Chain A
Amino acid sequence: MPSAIDIVPAVATRREEATGFFQNLVSKGLGWARKNSLWQYPFVTACCGMEYMSVASARYDIARFGAEVPRFSPRQADLLLVVGTVNCKQAPILQRIYEQLAEPKWVIAFGVCASSGGFYDNYATVQGIDRLVPVDVYIPGCPPRPEQVLDGLMLLQKKVQAQQHKLIDRLPAHPAAGE
C-alpha cells in the first residue's frame, strides 16, 4: 500500500490542480449546506431537556442556525444531541442510535452529565458519553444556558465547515470506519 505522501507527485500537474480546486469548491459548498441544515436527533434523558426545549423554542430560537428540525428517527438526522445523564442500562440504546444515524454524523454532548458523568460518579452512570460514541462538541453546564448551547452549535458549525466533504462519501474514507 503506497502512503498518501508517495502518490503525491513533486510537481502537481494542471489536471490535478483543477481536480483539487473543484474538490475544495464542492467540499466548501457541501460544508456550507450541511452546517446550516443540521437535523438533530434529541436523545433527551434528563433535566437538561428543559434547557433543550428553551433553546429550541421561540425565545432563543435554534432555527436561526438552521437546526430547528428535530427528527425522531435517527435515519433522518445527522446531529445526535445527547441531552442528560446516560446510565449503563441505556448505553446499548445510545450506541445503537448512533449506529443508525446516516453518514455524515456529528455528536454533541449536552450538559455536564453527558460530557463527563457530572456529579453522578457512581455505579450506575456512564462517565461521559465519549466512552460510548465519538463526540464532536462538549457543552458544559448543569444545565447549560441556552447561550452556551448556541455557542456549542456554532463551534460545531465551524467544525463542519472546515472538514472535508465529498460528493460521494465512501465508507472506508470516513475516519469513524477505521475503528
Chain B
Amino acid sequence: MSQAVVQALVARFPGDAYDPYVGPGGDDVVFVRKDRIAEVCRFLKEDPALQFNLAPYVTAVDYLGQEPRFEVVYNCTSTSRGHRIRLRVKVPESDLAVPTVTGVWRGADWFERYCWDMYGIRFPGHPDHRRLFMYDEFVGHPLRKDYPLRGRQPLTPERDVPDLIRGPGPAGRD
C-alpha cells in the first residue's frame, strides 16, 4: 500500500528499521530497534514526503515464553498523505524501557501510560508517568499473561456476603 514509506524508512535507518513485511489487511509493518524509536518517529512526522501527523495508536503485546518477551506496537497514520505504517519494537524483559514519543506526538501520552499500566513497560522521558486505568494501590500489571486470571485486588474491604456460585466468604471465592 505504501511501499515508498517503508523504503524511505529502511534507507534512512539501515539496520535500525529492519525486516519490513506486509501484514494482514495490507498494512506495512517494520521492526524498529528500541533505542532508535524516537528518532524514527520524528523522521516519520517531519519528513515532507511522509507527514505522519496523526498521533499513533500505541499498544503492547506480551509474548510469554518467547525472547524478547514484550513488543510495543505503534500504528501511525498520515491524514495529509493518506498512508499508514505499523512499527514493532521488541522489548526484552530484562530492560523494559522504551524511549517516549510524546515529544513527537503529544497524543501518545495516554497510550504510553496505558502500556505502563497494563504491561509494565516504562517510557523514560514521559511527562506524566502514572497508571492510566488502575488505582495506585494496584500491584502488578493485569494484561500480562502471567497475571492471575482472577487476581482481584479490592480497593476497600468487601462485605462478607454468601455467593451462590463461588461459595461463602471473601477469601477463597474468586
**Chain A residues with a Cβ under 8 A of chain B:** 88-89, 91-92, 95, 121-124, 126-128, 130-134
Contact = CB atoms under 8 A, between A and B. Distances in A.
A128 B154 CA distance: 12
A123 B153 contact: yes
Given A89-B135, A123-B142, A132 B151 contact: no
A91 B150 contact: no
Interface in B94-131: none
Interface SS, B side? loop
Contacts of A134: 159
A127 B159 contact: no
12 contacts: A88-B153, A88-B154, A89-B135, A91-B154, A95-B156, A121-B150, A123-B152, A127-B152, A127-B163, A128-B161, A130-B161, A134-B159
A134 B162 CA distance: 12
Given A121-B150, A132-B156, A132-B158, 10 more contacts: A88-B135, A88-B152, A88-B153, A88-B155, A95-B156, A123-B147, A123-B151, A124-B133, A131-B154, A133-B159
A60 B166 CA distance: 36
Interface residues of B, number: 19
A121 B158 CA distance: 16
Contacts of B167: none
B134 A131 contact: no
B156 A127 contact: no
A122 B138 CA distance: 14
Contacts of A121: 150
B174 A127 contact: yes
B170 interface: yes
